């Protein structure tokens, strides 16, 4: 008889009886994985990636590589090795939790040794179990990819995210049922095979026998098993959220009551963070161990028809010096992490405000009104997109075609600058901008003279990459010549300021999603600062010495990316963020620039933070760290 309350009691009793050996095993395995397994996996995958010969920085390029034979093999290897490490970890915890309580350290070491001896069986189980789920997902993935191309393939992804056109909802309405059907089939298979891992770990049988026996043991019991698994999953998800909410809403406000003196505030913050790190480590351990404990209890009830054995007498229950040392090491680790966190908080907010396509929330994107409004809203740079016309004029426009903003299906590169003057790119945004034209780069440079600078994002058509680079640089040199003459003719300081900075090359930035274009820029104008915009980067594939800044989607910026930037000496630009709370988090993550459609909001946030004292700003940074 399987009942959720009984399984819950079994899991909790097993956790109580085997807490110390499970912690010891978790620490030993983590050490082994950190020193040997994960570096070996990372090295292997990096070597495979290097064979592609170029970094992958856009979703389209990623799809192209993954559709190739080499890319598919790399993906399979990455998935297989990742799950093998997870199966090794879970198998060891199953071995610990199924045995009678004993010397904690010896039991952990024995489980680690027996897990490694089961490596061939566990690897085979990964191939069969994970492979079966991958085969299930392939037809669904291909169907969704086809539907995406049908409904959204011709639209700018950023436009889809921000505007959410009807085509998006049509795509979701058709795709979601496919995902639900796949999830139902995959879940059924998962519950059928849930005992395969404990069978391999505890009995040493091979996957084929384990899967068949798991199917027999779970037959007719998938409902209670599903309830237990889903309840466990909900608890694992809820615990970190509840912990963060508890600290954020209850304990963090208490710090605000402390006097703004470093002698009081810093020790209190250090103690606060130490407690938070310890709680996080405990929740992480509990989440990892819970699945193994549930599998073990299900195995004992179904394979041997027995309840979780009663707690043994406290024979040899003393953890010993090594166990105490391990636990003391966890506390020291938490304290050191808290110290590093406190010392990583930079109290200066030195962040560039970059307006994405101008102030594109209050004016039509990539137009002169959007550029001017961005400067009024406090932007340090105005990001614009540029393309080449048929007569090699550099125009400020994003898409390949004119369809989205004007309804005309022709490519911008097929038309001359004079022909483009007939198109209205403002009416779609609102009547106030009716008749707004596509500006040239030269006009955008005039708009920012003496008031700000541009980040020029080059969007070349295929085959015209070098031509776009050359024309953009030529326009910048022409602007520099004009400003030089303007300064020579200026009669006073105010007139000279209106001319703008003479060093146009040093003032402006270029941006591109192509590393090859960066080389072309460097060959023609080495002093130009270039930002490489990347949707994602595969490890080990990118030359991080080749650019001045790396622009990443904001949800892909991590502390490791910041560390890499500081090591190689380039900036990190986050795009595209329009939420105040997220802007604040990224400032505290130490990004160098934020690209936003709402530069006024970012300017207001920076002003508010500058008015805070050091103690108050430290608490703001602490709260953002908790939410990160």
Q: What is the pLDDT of residue 329?
A: 72
> Is residue 624 within 8 Å of 244, Cβ to Cβ?
no
Q: What is the pLDDT of residue 315?
A: 47
Q: Mapping DSSP to helix (H, G, I), strand (E, B) and coil, where does residue 409 land? A: strand
Distances 69 to 75, 85, 123 between C-alpha atoms, Å: 10, 25, 22
CA distance 111 to 83: 19
Sign, CA dihedral 138-144-146-149, equals negative
Token look-up 């405000």 returns 353
- How close are the terminal C-alpha atoms of the chain, in Å? 43
CA 379 to chain centre: 26
- What's the pLDDT tens digit per position in 172-187? 999 999 999 999 999 9
Q: What is the pLDDT of residue 351?
A: 93
Q: Mapping DSSP to helix (H, G, I), strand (E, B) and coil, where does residue 536 land? A: coil
Q: What is the pLDDT of residue 48?
A: 66
Q: What are phi and psi of 569, to 5 degrees?
A: 85, 30
Question: 593-596 and 352-356 as β-strands: parallel, antiparallel, unpaired?
Answer: parallel
Q: What is the pLDDT of residue 345?
A: 65
**Six-digit token pair at 551?**
């622009």
Q: What is the pLDDT of residue 541?
A: 73
- Give the residue ranges of the chain where pLDDT is below 50: 307-319
- What's the pLDDT tens digit per position in 550-569? 999 888 898 889 999 999 99
**Six-digit token pair at 20?**
């110390």
- Please list the residues that pair with 384 across neighbouring strands: 456
HSE (CB half, 13 Å, CA atoms) of 483? 23
CA distance 187 to 269: 44
> Is residue 312 within 8 Å of 10, Cβ to Cβ?
no
Instruction: Tell me the H-state helices in 99-154.
Output: 104-117, 119-152
Sequence-distant (≥ 6) Cβ neighbours of residue 284 within 8 angstroms: none
Q: What is the pLDDT of residue 622?
A: 72
Distances 105 to 5, 113, 474, 480 between C-alpha atoms, Å: 31, 12, 70, 72
Q: What is the pLDDT of residue 228?
A: 87
Question: 394-396 and 381-388 as β-strands: parallel, antiparallel, unpaired?
Answer: antiparallel
DSSP letters, 265-283, are HHHHHHHHHHHHHHHHHHH
Q: Mapping DSSP to helix (H, G, I), strand (E, B) and coil, where does residue 82 land? A: helix
Counting Cβ atoms within 10 Å, is residue 241 exposed (0-12), middle (13-18) or buried (19+)?
exposed
Q: Mapping DSSP to helix (H, G, I), strand (E, B) and coil, where does residue 508 land? A: coil
Sign, CA dihedral 51-53-58-64, equals negative
* Helix pair 262-303, 4-17: axis angle to 10 deg: 120
> Is residue 397 within 8 Å of 415, Cβ to Cβ?
no
**Six-digit token pair at 151?**
């409904």
CA distance 193 to 210: 8
**Six-digit token pair at 524?**
């023609």
Q: What is the dihedral of CA 100, 105, 110, 115, to 10 degrees?
A: 100
Sequence-distant (≥ 6) Cβ neighbours of residue 131 within 8 angstroms: none
């Amino acid at each position: 008889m399987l009942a959720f309350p009984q399984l819950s009691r079994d899991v909790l009793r097993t956790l109580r009886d085997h807490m110390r050996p499970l912690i010891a095993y978790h620490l030993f395995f983590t050490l082994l994985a950190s020193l040997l397994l994960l570096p070996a996996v990372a090295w292997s995958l990096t070597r495979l990636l290097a064979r592609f010969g170029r970094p992958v920085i856009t979703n389209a390029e990623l799809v192209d590589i993954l559709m190739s034979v080499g890319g598919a093999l790399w993906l399979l290897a990455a998935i297989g090795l990742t799950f093998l490490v997870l199966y090794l970890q879970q198998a060891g915890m199953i071995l610990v939790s199924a045995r009678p309580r004993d010397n904690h350290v010896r039991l952990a070491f024995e489980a680690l040794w027996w897990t490694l001896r089961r490596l061939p069986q566990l690897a085979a189980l990964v191939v069969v179990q994970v492979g079966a789920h991958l085969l299930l997902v392939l037809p669904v993935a291909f169907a969704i990819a086809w539907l995406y191309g049908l409904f959204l393939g011709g639209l700018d992804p950023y436009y889809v995210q921000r505007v959410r056109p009807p085509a998006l909802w049509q795509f979701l309405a058709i795709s979601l049922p496919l995902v639900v059907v796949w999830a139902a089939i995959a879940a059924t298979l998962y519950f059928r095979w849930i005992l395969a891992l404990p069978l391999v770990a505890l009995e040493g049988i091979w996957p084929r026998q384990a899967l068949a026996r798991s199917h027999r043991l779970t037959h007719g019991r998938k409902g209670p098993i599903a309830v237990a698994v889903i309840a466990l999953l909900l608890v694992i998800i809820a615990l970190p959220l509840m912990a963060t909410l508890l600290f954020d809403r209850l304990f963090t406000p208490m710090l605000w009551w402390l006097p703004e003196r470093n002698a009081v505030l810093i020790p209190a913050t250090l103690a606060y963070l130490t407690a938070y790190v310890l709680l996080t480590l405990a929740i992480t351990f509990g989440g990892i161990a819970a699945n193994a404990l549930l599998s073990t209890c299900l195995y004992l009830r179904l394979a041997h028809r027995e309840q979780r054995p009663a707690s043994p007498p406290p024979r040899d229950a003393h953890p010993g010096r090594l166990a105490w040392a391990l636990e003391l090491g966890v506390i020291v680790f938490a304290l050191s992490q808290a110290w590093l966190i406190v010392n990583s908080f930079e109290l200066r907010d030195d962040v560039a405000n970059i307006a994405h396509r101008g102030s594109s929330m209050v004016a039509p994107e990539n137009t002169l009104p959007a550029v001017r409004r961005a400067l009024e809203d406090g932007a340090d740079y105005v990001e614009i997109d540029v393309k080449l016309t048929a007569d090699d004029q550099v125009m400020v426009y994003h898409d390949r075609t004119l369809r989205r903003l004007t309804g005309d299906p022709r490519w911008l590169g097929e038309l001359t600058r004079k022909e483009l003057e007939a198109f209205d790119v403002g009416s779609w945004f609102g009547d106030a901008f009716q008749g707004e034209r596509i500006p040239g780069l030269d006009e955008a440079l005039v708009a920012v003279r003496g008031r700000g600078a541009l980040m020029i994002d080059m969007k070349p058509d295929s085959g015209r990459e070098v031509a776009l680079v050359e024309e953009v640089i030529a326009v910048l040199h022409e602007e520099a010549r004009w400003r030089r003459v303007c300064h020579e003719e200026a009669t006073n300081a105010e007139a000279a300021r209106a001319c703008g900075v003479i060093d146009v090359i040093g003032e402006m930035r270029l941006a591109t999603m192509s590393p090859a274009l960066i080389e072309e820029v460097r060959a023609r104008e080495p002093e130009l600062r270039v930002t490489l915009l990347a949707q994602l980067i595969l490890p080990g594939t990118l030359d991080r010495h080749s650019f001045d800044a790396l622009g990443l989607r904001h949800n892909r910026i991590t502390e490791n990316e910041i560390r890499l930037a500081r090591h190689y000496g380039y900036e990190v630009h986050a795009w595209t963020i329009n939420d105040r709370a997220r802007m604040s988090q990224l400032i505290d993550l130490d990004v160098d620039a934020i690209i936003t459609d709402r530069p006024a909001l970012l300017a207001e946030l920076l002003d508010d933070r500058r008015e805070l004292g050091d103690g108050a700003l430290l608490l703001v940074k602490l709260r953002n760290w908790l939410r990160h």
